């Protein structure tokens, strides 16, 4: 590199670091009061200096979950199927307060999120909806989250770093607007904790919900070294929350956190693990673009099987039996493209990724594998089908016969 260019880069980096150091820090505090009697939470956002923010433009979905808005400054609500609320804070200390419904039911009578007289299992993404932030230049918001629990409720768990009894620091380097996302749990709880590698792991559930907390920790401990070998980055904290029926019988990853219904097996009869699948989603953080859902879903299901196998939790015979079942389940599939994949399409994707892994290992004489493609996708952050093919072929060093298929057209 030419000396002049290196000097210019050094000067640029110095200027950038100076501007970061010069950023004016303004406190943004989230106060959440849980209200079991109405199955709601009262949320208050408080800016220490309102003039630091020109506006916060919130996406309120269909608007039905949010009510009772009160604001220091201007508040403009646009109702409808794509409701929005714009807050222009008053100049000095300014607050926005509203209520949000916590219990979300499904048509079959189960719940995605729920508040009872004794506990609440919720998502921070619902507490504070996504918003476009327009702030003054040279300003950095420092965000904290504090819960006010009902009388008798013992504790609260989130995936954010704890800085007090019911208080957490919210800091997401990839976003301008730090909001408290991820799964959260409060009430009369039972929890187990351990440290795996660089990650503080907590498994928590309401008392009496049948959550096998030690089983969850044991399985994670078992596969963790294999996950560390595959993934270049690991969360500093991982929270797994669970509850029994009528909570939804499924599993779902969110930011550094996982929901797992306590009645679900940790490893299914086929050998796949919902817990490990969601862990892969948390570690990978791969976003797919429109009609490219197969990439993220495929990676998650492939490594849910592969990590258990690499850890010694699956014999060769069981692995072969599982592959035959995946092939049988997916024999009618003609395309992997689409917004929401069917179970058969996910099975077909796992077969495809397995074939790609074997092709890479064969053509690179075992020096590279699908792991390298996964790490490349993580580096990109979001991937479409064309980029995935280019990534795989750059790992192979030539074109891929496996990916030259109508399944990806």
Q: What is the mean pLDDT of residues 54-58?
A: 96
Query: Where is the domain boundary, 262, 284, 306?
Result: 284
CATH number at residue 150: 2.60.40.3650
Same domain, 231 and 243: yes
Let me know if residue 244 belongs to a domain.
yes
pTM above 0.85, yes or no: yes
Q: Is residue 87 predicted with pLDDT exceeding 80?
A: yes
Q: What pLDDT, on a 0 to 100 scale, did the predictor assign at position 16?
A: 52
Let me know if residue 246 belongs to a domain.
yes
Let me know if residue 152 belongs to a domain.
yes
Same domain, 59 and 48: yes
Distance CA 69, CA 267 (A): 45
Give the total number of structural domains in the chain.
3
Could you read off the pLDDT of 162-199 as tens digits, one per residue?
999 999 999 987 788 899 999 999 999 999 999 999 99
Same domain, 136 and 165: yes
Same domain, 332 and 361: yes
Q: What is the mean pLDDT of residues 283-299?
A: 85
Same domain, 158 and 65: yes
Please give the DSSP secondary-structure letter assigned to residue 108. T
Contact 123, 130 (CB under 8 A): no
Same domain, 374 and 271: no
Give me the DSSP letters along 247-306.
B-SSEEEETTEEEE-TTS-SS-TTS--HHHHHHHHHHH-PEE-TTBHHHHHHHHHHHHHH
Contact 276, 258 (CB under 8 A): no
Let me know if residue 184 belongs to a domain.
no
Four-CA torsion 166, 171, 177, 182, nearest 10 degrees: -60
Same domain, 309 and 403: yes
Q: What pLDDT, on a 0 to 100 scale, did the predictor assign at position 272?
A: 83
Distance CA 331, CA 347 (A): 9
Same domain, 29 and 164: yes
Contact 198, 234 (CB under 8 A): yes
Q: What pLDDT, on a 0 to 100 scale, did the predictor assign at position 174?
A: 73
Q: What pLDDT, on a 0 to 100 scale, did the predictor assign at position 19?
A: 45
Q: What pLDDT, on a 0 to 100 scale, did the predictor assign at position 22?
A: 62
Same domain, 36 and 155: yes
Locate 2 and state its tokens. 């030419």
Four-CA torsion 269, 270, 271, 276, nearest 10 degrees: -90
Same domain, 346 and 253: no
Same domain, 212 and 257: yes
3-state secondary structure of 123: strand
Q: Is residue 244 predicted with pLDDT exceeding 70?
A: yes
Locate 322 and state its tokens. 């599982």
Which residues form the domain of 213?
Answer: 189-284
Same domain, 363 and 276: no
């Amino acid at each position: 590199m030419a000396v002049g260019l290196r000097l210019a880069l050094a000067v640029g980096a110095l200027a950038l670091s100076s501007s970061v150091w010069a950023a004016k820090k303004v406190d943004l505090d989230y106060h959440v009061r849980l209200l079991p009697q109405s199955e709601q939470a009262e949320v208050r956002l408080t800016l220490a200096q309102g003039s630091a923010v020109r506006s916060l433009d919130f996406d309120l979905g269909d608007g039905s979950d949010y009510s009772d808005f009160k604001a220091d400054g201007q508040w403009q609500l646009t109702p409808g199927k794509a409701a929005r609320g714009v807050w222009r804070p008053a100049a000095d200390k300014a607050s926005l307060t509203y209520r949000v419904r916590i219990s979300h039911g499904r048509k079959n009578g189960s719940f995605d999120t729920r508040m009872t007289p004794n506990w609440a299992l919720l998502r921070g993404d619902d507490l504070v909806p996504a918003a476009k932030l327009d702030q003054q230049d040279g300003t950095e918001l420092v965000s904290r989250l504090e819960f006010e629990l009902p009388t008798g409720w013992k504790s609260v768990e989130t995936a954010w770093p704890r800085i007090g009894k019911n208080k957490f620091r919210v800091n997401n380097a990839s976003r301008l607007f730090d909001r408290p996302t991820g799964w959260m749990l409060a009430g009369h709880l039972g929890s187990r904790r351990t440290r795996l590698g660089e990650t503080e792991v907590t498994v928590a559930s309401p008392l009496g919900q049948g959550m096998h907390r030690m089983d969850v920790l044991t399985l994670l401990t078992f596969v963790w070294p294999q996950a560390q070998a595959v993934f270049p980055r690991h969360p500093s904290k991982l929270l797994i929350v669970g509850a029994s029926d009528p909570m939804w019988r499924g599993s779902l990853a969110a930011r550094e956190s996982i929901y797992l219904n306590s009645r679900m097996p940790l490893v299914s009869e086929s050998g796949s693990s919902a817990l490990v699948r969601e862990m892969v989603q948390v570690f990978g953080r791969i976003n797919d673009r429109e009609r490219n859902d197969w990439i993220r879903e495929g990676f998650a299901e492939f490594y849910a099987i592969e990590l258990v196998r690499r850890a010694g939790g699956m014999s060769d015979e069981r692995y072969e039996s599982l592959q035959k079942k995946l092939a049988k389940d997916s024999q009618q599939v003609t395309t992997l493209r689409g917004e929401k994949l069917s179970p058969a399409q996910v099975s077909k994707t796992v077969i495809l990724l397995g074939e790609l892994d074997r092709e890479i290992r064969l053509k690179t004489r075992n020096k590279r594998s699908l792991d390298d493609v996964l790490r490349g996708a993580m580096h990109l952050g979001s991937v479409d089908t064309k980029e995935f093919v280019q990534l795989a072929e750059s790992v192979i060093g030539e074109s891929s016969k496996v990916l030259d298929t109508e399944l990806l057209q």
